[in-house]
Structure 1
Amino acid sequence: MDCLKDRGVQLVDVVLRGNLPAQQCPVCEGCWIAPEDYHDWKQGQPQPLPETVNLEAAANHPPAPLDVRTALCPDCGGFLSRVKTGATMNPFYVERCPQCGGIWCDRGEWDALSAMGISAIIDQLFSSDWQGRMRTREMLHRERLAMIDKLGEDLALQVFALAEQLEHHPNGDFGVAYLMRRIGGSEAGLE
């Protein structure tokens, strides 16, 4: 089988992290994972929840140069669908055939997916529900980084801890309302 991205280069059999059989391009290092191999491998893997995904695990994964190229499924000939991962620093795209379920990972993407804890749920990555949850997590992560940048780490950590306490307190909304009034200025100078 020829490489999906580097035409004319023959794929060779390899075993990916987690003992998953695949075929890899010796030039671009991308991997084709046959649908039946992935299905069999996935049966023995834990199924992570969205909140357990480690978005930072792939922060140092540089996108592969051929990640921008589209590809055709080597099994059924259809265009592969692409989905952006939830990686915050260096997002990358995983490709999957919507007809047969075969997966293409560009160089290093399988290791990044494994490190993030989502290699066993690649089919879920393509759902709008999963993508929505990951966008929310990414937004909250960026918000957290911005808070640290604006307030400094010590004060930001105190704010995060207070927010956690107020969120779980039965009258936490009273505390939030007080802070909003206090900081908003309507009670400034009254004390």
Structure 2
Amino acid sequence: MRCPKNKKIELLDDRLSVDLAVKRCPDCKGIWIPSNEYEVWQQRHVQDSLEQLPSTLNVDYVQSPLDAKAAFCPECHRYLARAKVAIKTPFYVERCSQCGGIWCDHGEWDVLTQLGLNTIVQQLFTSEWQARSKQREQSERERQATIDKLGQELADLVFELAERLEKHPNGDFGMAYLMRRFNP
């Protein structure tokens, strides 16, 4: 079985944990997780749902230079589908739609584990995940634009006020007051 990113390199047997056998590329350090191995491992670990995801997907991560390279499944040779994961340093986990195997470029499994997404990789390929991902990106851009326009100090006050108004039973009254002040 050859590396999806460097087709000249043979994948070697390895383990991500005692109970998860994988194939690792000795060159790019990416890992191939066969579907059957992942499913057995997944059943032994607590599965989170999309409802229990981390509040932020901003992680410090050095993206693999091979992440943008298209790849084919090392088992059935079909094109690997890609799912965007993080916001700050985005990366793509790849999965074969035919056999269900998963490809992680170097370091991506560690980030998935850090975010608690390693037990629900298949859900990253759903339209629900993709929609949530786009919504988070938009929120992050909006937040950064607020910081850029107001400065960090005032933006932090705005964010705090918004959070407090969201939690308050009459927070909508406070928002209406502010809107009237700025749009007489």
TM-score tier (shorter) = 0.7 to 0.9
Q: Residue 189 of structure 1 aligns with which residue?
A: none
- Secondary structure at the aligned position of 1:158 is classed as helix
Note the residue ranges of structure 2 that are not aligned, 5 or more in a row. none
User: What residue identity is the alignment partner of 1:10?
Assistant: E
Offset, 1:79? 1.6
Quickly say closer, same or farther: Cα 1:107–1:65, change in 2 above 3 A: same
Distance in 2 between residues matched to 1:37 and 1:18, nearest whole Å: 12
Q: Percent identity?
A: 51
The amino acid across from 2:53 in the alignment is T
CA distance in 2, matches of 1:183, 1:74: 59
Cα displacement (A) at 1:116: 2.0
Deviating 4+ runs (over 6 angstroms): none
Q: Which residue of 1 aligns with 2:78?
A: 78
Q: Counterpart of 1:43?
A: 43
SS of the residue 2:58 aligns to = helix
Aligned to 1:52: 53
Partner AA of 1:113 in structure 2: L
Q: Which runs of 5+ in 1 are unaligned?
A: 187-191
- Name the SS of the counterpart of 2:4 in structure 1: coil
Q: Which amino acid aligns with 1:27?
A: D
Asked if the contact 1:82/1:95 (under 8 Å) is kept, the reply is: yes
SS at match of 2:6: coil
Aligned to 1:130: 129
- Checking the alignment, whether the CA contact within 8 Å between 2:2 and 2:9 is kept in structure 1 is yes
Match of 1:121 in 2: 120
Matched positions, count: 182
Instruction: Report deviation, 1:19.
Output: 5.0
> 1:131 offset after TM fit, Å?
0.9
**Correspondence for 1:102:** 101
Segment of structure 1 superposing worse, 134-143 or 35-44: 134-143
Where does residue 16 of structure 1 map in the other structure?
16
**Gap change, CA 1:143 and 1:26, over 3 Å in 2:** same
- Decide whether aligned partners of structure 1 residues 26 and 51 sit closer, same or farther in structure 2, where only a CA change above 3 A counts: same
Whether 2:27 is the aligned partner of 1:27: answer yes
- Equivalent in the alignment of 2:6: 6
Q: Secondary structure at the match of 1:15?
A: strand
Indicate the residue corresponding to 2:175 in structure 1: 176
Larger radius of gyration: 1
- Quote the offset at 1:127 in angstroms: 0.4
CA displacement at 1:111 relative to structure 2: 1.2
Q: Name the CA distance, whole Å, in 2 between partners of 1:107 and 1:71.
A: 14
